[in-house]
Amino acid sequence: MLSTVFWIVSELLQLYSWAVIIAAVYSMLVAFNVLDTRNRLVWSIGDFLYRVTEPALRPIRRFMPNLGAVDISPIILLILIFAVQMMVGRLADAVSYGNIRGLLL
């Protein structure tokens, strides 16, 4: 049962990382006028991606220096997501095998 919870958390983090990647690609395509945001479907997808990713990106952007048009906050968020995934994996192994020393390595 507990391994299922860890698996679900890991998969949700993986889905969220894909949402961050898609949102970054979407914003670049909009910036280069490849996508037209006047199209209702394109706007809906962009709005969904913004609402999903912005709450996690906003605190990162607050602490980042202004780099002009370059936004590296999605990269930092992806690194944080991967770090959390690694910690969840180690925690799942420690709980499954009863070895707390696996958390320290």
Query: Which pLDDT value is given to residue 19?
Result: 97
Ramachandran bin of 89, using left for φ above 0, alpha for ψ from -120 to 50, beta for the remaining angles: alpha
pLDDT tens figures, 1-58: 777 898 999 999 999 999 999 999 999 999 999 999 999 999 999 999 999 999 999 9
pTM of the model: 0.87
Residues 6+ apart with CB under 8 A from 96: 2, 3
Q: For residue 69, what is the enclosing H or E element?
A: none
| Pair 10, 64: CB distance under 8 Å | no
Q: What is the pLDDT of residues 47-102, one digit of tens each?
A: 999 999 999 999 999 998 888 878 899 999 999 999 999 999 888 888 877 776 65
DSSP secondary structure letter of residue 66:
P
